[in-house]
Amino acid sequence: MINQDLLELLRCPVCVKEKEGRLQFVKDTWLVCEECGRKYPIVEDIPVMLITEGDKWVETKPSDLPVPAPRPA
């Protein structure tokens, strides 16, 4: 489980440059940007905040995200 204090600090690496970049915790294994819709997997309790990972899932609805989140390639 991710520490709540850490979740409050994390921001979308794309949006934080010009906006707030707030992330929502979804399905206990994903962080979803409220602004751009990029989705970042959490693998073994570690958020994978790579822009390329967020881009892979941007078109996927939060309800369709796989659980557990797949490991990055």
Tell me what the mean pLDDT of segment 59-69 comes to. Answer: 96
Write the pLDDT tens digit of every residue in 6-38.
Answer: 888 999 999 998 999 999 999 999 999 999 999
For the chain, the average pLDDT equals 93
Determine the pLDDT at residue 73: 76
Can you list the domains of the chain with their CATH numbers? 4-61 (2.20.25)
Specify whether the CB–CB gap between 31 and 42 falls below 8 A. Answer: yes
Q: State how far the Cα of 49 lies from the Cα of 52, in Å rounded to an integer.
A: 9
Determine the pLDDT at residue 36: 96
Q: What is the pTM of this model?
A: 0.91
